[in-house]
Chains A and B, each alone.
Chain A
Amino acid sequence: MSFLARYRNVFICIVTLVTPFLFLKSNLADPAKLTAFDRILLTISTPVQWVTTATAETVGQIWSKYIFLVNTNEENERLRFDNARLKAENAVFLKTEQEVRRLRRMLMFKETFTGELRASRVVARVVGRGVSEQFRVDRISLDMSGTDGLVKGLPVVTFEGLVGQISRFEGGYADVMLSADRKSYVPVFVQRNGAQGILRGTGELDRYTCEVEYLLRSDEVREGDQLFTSGIGGKFPEGILAGTITSVRRENTGLFQRVVVEPAVNFSRLREVFVIMDSAEVMSTVGDRDE
């Protein structure tokens, strides 16, 4: 038996004990005090160490991500519950955010609207809607409890524009006739050229539309022109956006042209409106009636 074969086990034991000790010494040594031997050991050990550690980490990750899924079902249930709860909360927040945005716009409208009307406007909440067979709102009801001085014909507006006028009031509630109603007449002018006419609702059941009556054929109007209340007659204050022209048709005969208008307000989405309380025409009419 050769010397190497005879002392093989002793040799292996010494090497396997001394080698890690030397590696450990080099690894824990102060980098400033590394000897050439330490550097050689580190150069040898670093790539091997990197491969081993990376393998161990990869296997560990595979195990914990794909095999060891003890609490996953429970966690999924909890996350599903959390998700449902957060969705519900989010829906509430979204609704609140929309309300805040709407109220902010109303506030801005109230502050920017011209002088004398500022103090005479009352905010009213929409509490009821009359709906047509085609699911179009044809009438709205307002909660006006605590508001004095209500009369028929008071203009109703939002920050978007003209809504209509009070048609009836009783017991703290008021009905509003919309500008798209067949019985609604509002004096308007075309912003671009000042052409004047009367905005009349068409009363269609499946859409919100108005027409401008008494607009002369010679008045050059086109699609996209905006119409504002003219203030003539004193019922509606001047300068409220009433709608936008969507089509213009000039017949070969006749004095006037047929102009279709989309109202400025989407009546289906109304939540709060302003009621203008001191419209001169209405007040004088009421005054006359009282006398």
Chain B
Amino acid sequence: MTIMQIAGTIAFSFLLLVLQSTFAHLVPWDMFVPNAALTVVLYMGLHDHDVGRGALVSFGIGYLMDAFAGSPIGLFTFVSVAVFLISKVAAWRLFLQGWIFEIILAFLLALAAGCVVLAIRALFDQDFGSLLSHAKIVVWRATATALVAPFVFRGMKWIEQVSARTKRSSGRKVLRG
């Protein structure tokens, strides 16, 4: 993962968060708002070979999610890094090919992320009444996230291709020089 790719990934996540926060009120059923930035973390877990760098970028994306969501700082940061590590483990164990697998994995990991959020809230908030109402939303949000995952994955692939092309062309210039 190059510096440009890292910057592109964070900028892309930022854009997704802006879109997510803007379009959220247009979705007729507000439970069905996807967590698009989480799928970026998922993609990194599945495709990036450098665990340390991926964890740091996930940390940054999670921090942005906290800032946009207005949640207590650290909540989504923790969840984001956790999702990255889980997806990394999944990538070692599973051979993933095609958008159906992407959707299934995105659904399962978004569900896991929702459960982690609920667990952390239960640990600190101990307001079980509101937790129950949040638990109902988790499944729907995971479904919405899974549906947007293939599109986010294509976006991430495009960023990878662009940064790789830029790296190659700058390498050629160095060689000519």
Contacts and interface: CB of A to CB of B under 8 A. Distances in A.
Nearest to A52: B67
Contacts of B26: 70
Given A24-B75, A25-B124, A60-B68, A16 B55 contact: yes
A28 B81 contact: no
Contacts of A72: none
Interface in A18-33: 19-25, 27-28
B17 interface: yes
Given A9-B51, A12-B52, A52-B64, A24 B124 contact: yes
Interface string A42-78: 0001000100110110011001100010100000000
A49 B63 CA distance: 9
A64 B22 contact: yes
A109 to B, nearest CB: 59
A21 B74 contact: yes
Contact of A13 (B72, B77, B81): B81
Contacts of A64: 22
Nearest to A14: B55
Interface in A78-130: none
Interface string B45-67: 00000111001101100111011
B55 A20 contact: no
A49 B73 contact: yes
Given A13-B51, A56-B67, A23 B77 contact: yes
A24 B73 contact: yes
B22 A21 contact: no
Contact of B75 (A20, A53, A60): A20
Nearest to A51: B67
B77 A63 contact: no
Interface residues of B, number: 32
B100 interface: no
B125 A68 contact: no
Nearest to B25: A64
A1 interface: no
A137 B170 CA distance: 89
Nearest to B58: A16
B52 A13 contact: yes
Given A52-B67, A59-B14, A20 B74 contact: yes
Interface in B14-59: 14, 17-18, 21-22, 26, 50-52, 55-56, 58-59
A140 to B, nearest CB: 62
A28 B125 contact: yes
B162 interface: no
Given A8-B52, A60-B18, A16 B73 contact: no
A17 B52 contact: no
A27 B81 contact: no
A10 to B, nearest CB: 8
16 contacts: A11-B52, A17-B82, A17-B85, A20-B81, A23-B74, A24-B73, A25-B124, A27-B74, A28-B72, A28-B124, A53-B70, A56-B17, A56-B67, A59-B14, A59-B18, A60-B22
- Top 7 nearest A-B pairs (CB, nearest first) are A24-B74, A20-B77, A23-B74, A20-B74, A12-B52, A20-B78, A9-B52
